[in-house]
Structure 1
Amino acid sequence: MDQAIKDIINIQKSASYIKYVDYHKDNIFAITKTSRLELPHSDYLSWILNPNRVGLGFFPVVQLIKTLLLCKERPINKNARIDENLLLKLSFCEDGFIQDVKVQREKEHIDILLEVVTKDKTLPIVIENKVNSSENGKNNDQTNVYFNYAEKAFLDEDGFYKPVYVYLLPKYNQSIPKNANFIVVTYQDLVDYVLEPILYKTKDDNKRSIMVNYLQSLSYQTDNEKGEAIMAISSEEKDIIEQFIKENKNLIQSVLAALVDNGEEDVEEMQKAINTFTSGMKDYTKYKFNGKEYTKNRLVLSVFTQFVEDMKLKNPNLSIADLEKEIDNSIQRTMNVFKNINDISDKYKGIGGTPRYFIDEPIALPSGEVILVTNQWGKEAAEKFIEWARSKGFQIEAA
Structure 2
Amino acid sequence: MTHSLEQIAQLEHSKEFARLHQKFHQFNPLKVLRVDQFEIRHSNILAWLLDPNETHQLGSFFLKKLLTRLVMRAENEGKGDGIDFLSFLYSSFHDAEVSREVKTHTNRMIDLLVHVPSQKLVLVIENKFHAGESDGQLVDYLAYAKAEFQEPGYTVLPIFLTLASEEPSDDSYLLLGYEDVLEIIEQQLEFSKETTADAIYDFLSFYIEVLKEQLVHDAESVELALTVYDENKNAIDFLFLSQNDNFKKQAVYKSIYKQLAKLDESEKTALRKIYGAKKKTIDFVFNIGGNVIREAFLDFVKEADMPEEAYAAHIRFPHFILPDWSDFQETLGEPASAYWLGQAFIIWFERQVGERLKITVELGPIPYVERYRLLTELEKRDVSFQQSGKEEGKRYTKIYTAWTDVGEWASKQEVLKSMFVLYDAPELNDLFRKIAESVEVMEDATEEVEEVTESKLEKVLNKSTVPPIPKEAFDLFCAKHHIAEAERNYHWRNPSFVVPAFTRIEERYGMSRFDWWWHNGALLFWFDQLRDGRLKLILELGPLQGEDRVALIRELEMLGVTFKAVSKLRTAAYTRLYSNIKVIEDWQDAQQVAEEMTKLFQHPRHQELLAKIEAVSMASSDI
What TM-score do you get using the length of structure 2 for normalisation? 0.40
Deviation readout 1:299-336 (Å, 9 max, x if unpaired): 315982579x9699489xxxxxxxxxxxxxxxxxxxxx
User: Is 2:397 the partner of 1:346?
Assistant: no
Q: 1:251 to 1:343 in 2, by over 3 A?
A: closer
Q: 1:163 to 1:291 in 2, by over 3 A?
A: farther
**Counterpart Cα distance in 2 of 1:70 and 1:26:** 35
Deviation readout 1:271-315 (Å, 9 max, x if unpaired): 78899469xxxxxx9x868997671369315982579x9699489
User: Is 2:122 the partner of 1:145?
Assistant: no
User: Is 2:228 the partner of 1:255?
Assistant: no
Match of 1:46 in 2: 47
Contact 1:67 1:190 (C-alpha < 8 Å) held by counterparts: no
Deviation readout 1:171-225 (Å, 9 max, x if unpaired): 233x623x32111212122212x222233335222112222222333355xxxxx
Match of 1:295 in 2: 339
Match of 1:218 in 2: 211
**Counterpart Cα distance in 2 of 1:82 and 1:387:** 30
Where 1:39 maps in the other structure, the secondary structure is: helix
Structure-to-structure mapping, 1:283-362, within 5 angstroms:
295-296=339-340, 299-301=345-347, 304=361, 313=382, 340-343=403-406, 345-347=408-410
Match of 2:115 in 1: 115
**Counterpart Cα distance in 2 of 1:314 and 1:250:** 40
Q: 1:346 to 1:4 in 2, by over 3 A?
A: farther
The AA in structure 2 aligned to 1:183 is L
**Counterpart Cα distance in 2 of 1:268 and 1:166:** 30
Q: 1:314 to 1:199 in 2, by over 3 A?
A: closer
Contact 2:340 2:346 (C-alpha < 8 Å) held by counterparts: yes
Question: How large is the RMSD of aligned CA atoms in angstroms?
Answer: 5.2
**Counterpart Cα distance in 2 of 1:190 and 1:144:** 24
**Counterpart Cα distance in 1 of 2:233 and 2:111:** 47
Match of 1:209 in 2: 202
Match of 1:332 in 2: none
Contact 2:113 2:123 (C-alpha < 8 Å) held by counterparts: yes
**Counterpart Cα distance in 2 of 1:145 and 1:387:** 40
Q: 1:35 to 1:296 in 2, by over 3 A?
A: closer
Where 2:63 maps in the other structure, the secondary structure is: helix
**Counterpart Cα distance in 1 of 2:436 and 2:9:** 47
Q: CA deviation at 1:60?
A: 0.8
Q: 1:83 to 1:268 in 2, by over 3 A?
A: closer
Q: CA deviation at 1:125?
A: 1.0
Q: 1:305 to 1:156 in 2, by over 3 A?
A: farther
Contact 2:182 2:211 (C-alpha < 8 Å) held by counterparts: no
Structure-to-structure mapping, 1:1-399, within 5 angstroms:
5=10, 9-12=14-17, 14=19, 17=20, 20-21=23-24, 24-52=25-53, 53-71=55-73, 73-74=74-75, 77-78=76-77, 80-81=79-80, 83-84=82-83, 86-91=84-89, 93=90, 97-108=92-103, 109-118=109-118, 121-136=119-134, 140-157=135-152, 160-173=153-166, 176-177=168-169, 179-192=170-183, 194-200=184-190, 201-202=192-193, 203-218=196-211, 220=213, 230=214, 232-233=215-216, 241-244=218-221, 255=231, 276=312, 295-296=339-340, 299-301=345-347, 304=361, 313=382, 340-343=403-406, 345-347=408-410, 390-394=435-439
Q: CA deviation at 1:264?
A: 8.1
Contact 2:49 2:62 (C-alpha < 8 Å) held by counterparts: yes
Q: CA deviation at 1:344?
A: 6.8
Where 1:181 maps in the other structure, the secondary structure is: coil
Q: CA deviation at 1:123?
A: 1.1
**Counterpart Cα distance in 1 of 2:66 and 2:150:** 23
Bigger Cα Rg: 2
Contact 2:128 2:163 (C-alpha < 8 Å) held by counterparts: yes
The AA in structure 2 aligned to 1:40 is R
The AA in structure 2 aligned to 1:170 is L
**Counterpart Cα distance in 1 of 2:422 and 2:208:** 31
Q: 1:256 to 1:338 in 2, by over 3 A?
A: farther
Q: CA deviation at 1:81?
A: 4.1
Where 1:129 maps in the other structure, the secondary structure is: strand
**Counterpart Cα distance in 2 of 1:47 and 1:31:** 20
Q: CA deviation at 1:31?
A: 3.0
Contact 1:167 1:184 (C-alpha < 8 Å) held by counterparts: yes
Where 2:115 maps in the other structure, the secondary structure is: strand
Q: 1:25 to 1:169 in 2, by over 3 A?
A: same
Gaps of 5+ in 2: 1-5, 104-108, 239-250, 254-288, 299-307, 315-325, 349-359, 364-374, 385-399, 425-430, 444-623
Where 2:160 maps in the other structure, the secondary structure is: strand
Contact 2:11 2:17 (C-alpha < 8 Å) held by counterparts: no
**Counterpart Cα distance in 2 of 1:209 and 1:273:** 40
Contact 1:341 1:371 (C-alpha < 8 Å) held by counterparts: yes
Q: 1:339 to 1:249 in 2, by over 3 A?
A: same
Where 2:405 maps in the other structure, the secondary structure is: helix
Where 1:106 maps in the other structure, the secondary structure is: strand
Contact 2:113 2:124 (C-alpha < 8 Å) held by counterparts: yes
Contact 2:102 2:111 (C-alpha < 8 Å) held by counterparts: yes
Contact 1:259 1:267 (C-alpha < 8 Å) held by counterparts: no
Q: How many aligned positions are there?
A: 307
Contact 2:159 2:176 (C-alpha < 8 Å) held by counterparts: yes
Where 1:88 maps in the other structure, the secondary structure is: helix
**Counterpart Cα distance in 1 of 2:77 and 2:407:** 25
**Counterpart Cα distance in 2 of 1:66 and 1:190:** 11
The AA in structure 2 aligned to 1:47 is W
Q: CA deviation at 1:242?
A: 2.4
Match of 1:363 in 2: none
Where 1:211 maps in the other structure, the secondary structure is: helix
Q: 1:181 to 1:258 in 2, by over 3 A?
A: closer
Q: 1:245 to 1:389 in 2, by over 3 A?
A: farther
**Counterpart Cα distance in 1 of 2:12 and 2:295:** 16
Q: CA deviation at 1:342?
A: 1.0
Gaps of 5+ in 1: 221-229, 279-284, 316-336, 350-354, 360-369, 374-385
